[in-house]
Amino acid sequence: MATPTLILITGYARSGKDTLAEGIMSGISPKTGWALKLNFADALKQSANDYLKALNLDEDGVDFFEEQFKVKHRSFLVAAGSFARSINRDVFASRFVSKCLEFAGSHGAGVVVCSDWRYMNELRVSQDWLIRAGWDVVTVEIQTSGIGPANEEEGLSIGEIRREHSPSLSLMFAPDRAQLIKAEGRNLARQLGL
């Protein structure tokens, strides 16, 4: 595969985005080159961890990349993210794209799988920069029956994506189908020739 590829996955919290990403990652052939799981919120989580470190609060278990800690302190991440986007709406999308281009520049063609696509501007920035640089951008929406928006902002942002963009692939699952979701991720990697 000579063309770098970005796979953006959108859907409500707890719909199976990370599970699908895990399946895609496990289905990527070693012949593809490198494969990287990278999310828009990674820069925010790292900045929050740096904040904790600056205040000497970085003891064991205090890490925004750890699920339990992140869930317990989600309000801090939401406030910090909203604050950063109020200054520069594209701050996280721009950082994400820079990381994609940097990695591809160092390692050649490969795949980036992103499981936290939540805003239309993230797609626009990714397409503007990456397609111009010769990347393929694949969009996937995942839905799980009975799972709705976690909060008003998520409902609005995912609603905007649904109104303004037709994804490359839409997937619908019944609840508690993690193994099926992973299998679909592996299948998607094969379909894309990854």
Integer Cα distance of 81 and 155 in angstroms: 17
Superfamily of 5-39+94-191 according to CATH: P-loop containing nucleotide triphosphate hydrolases (3.40.50.300)
Contact in structure between 6 and 137 (CB atoms under 8 Å)? yes
Q: If you count DSSP H runs as helices and E runs as strands, how many of each does the chain have, helices first?
A: 9, 5
Q: What is the pLDDT of residues 28-45, one digit of tens each?
A: 988 887 899 999 999 999
Question: Could you report the per-residue pLDDT of 80-114, keeping only the tens digit for each?
Answer: 999 999 999 999 999 999 999 998 888 878 899 99
pLDDT digits (tens, 9 = 90+) for 1-32: 478 999 999 999 999 999 999 999 999 988 88
CA–CA dist 114, 147 (Å, integer): 20
Structure tokens at 76: 């801090």
Residue 74's pLDDT band, with cuts at 50, 70 and 90, is confident
Domain ranges of the chain: 5-39+94-191
pLDDT bucket at 153, cuts 50 / 70 / 90: confident
Give the residue ranges of DSSP H helices in 108-170: 120-126, 132, 152-164
Q: What pLDDT is stored for residue 105 in this prediction?
A: 84
* Neighbouring-strand partners of residue 141: 10, 170
